[in-house]
Amino acid sequence: MPTQSTASHVNDVAVDGRGDFDFFFGNWNVSHRRLQRRLAGDGNWDALGGTCAVRSLLGGLGNVDDNVIELPGGAYRAATVRTFDPATRQWSIWWIDGRTPLAIDVPMRGTFTDGVGTFLCEDVFDNRPIRVRFLWSGITQDTARWEQAFSADGGTSWETNWVMDFARQT
């Protein structure tokens, strides 16, 4: 049975997007900034610490991260599962909060363009429909930034409510 060469595989990965999160594999220190009250006109932010460990799944078609988030009232764990669909060339992202481990958030879907990942979904916050956006940017070998924003007006305006700055552990 013929096998695909490594060089060909690397080129395929770069073209279809399945390698978009490869930068993220490994262990990270995380600086969190979290808006205290969302969609309430609040300008007060909490600064939190944390860690994140990321590994590949599904032969490169997915990945998972294990997070420790250091809230003022005590640390908690959370996980993100990401999968790539080669047919649509899109990623799906699910968040699992360790404080409510029986629930999985609505999946975010999207792609990377020009080094920025944009992922969207429709959700509900405080009993009202919203759009949610994740942005991945500032990606280098040792740094990355993730931002979450909510829109209560169908995406016309966005309120960023959580920012994570990642620094690779040495």
Name the residue ranges covered by the structural domains of the chain: 6-168
pLDDT in 10s for each residue of the chain, 170 residues = 444 433 334 444 447 999 999 999 999 999 999 999 999 999 999 999 999 999 999 999 999 999 999 998 899 999 999 999 999 999 999 999 999 999 998 999 999 999 999 999 999 999 999 999 999 999 999 999 999 999 999 999 999 999 999 999 98
Q: Considering all CA atoms of the chain, what is the largest pairwise distance in Å, rounded to the nearest integer?
A: 61
SS3 93: strand
Looking at residue 93, its amino acid is I
DSSP per residue, 140-160: -SSEEEEEEEEESSTTSS-EE
Name beta bridge partners: 68. Answer: 51, 77
The whole-number pLDDT of residue 92 equals 98
The whole-number pLDDT of residue 43 equals 94
CATH T-level topology, domain 6-168: Lipocalin (2.40.128)
CA 123 to chain centre: 16
Residue 80 CA to residue 101 CA, distance in Å, equals 12
Residue with tokens 């944390």: 50
For residue 56, the surrounding DSSP H or E stretch is strand 45-57
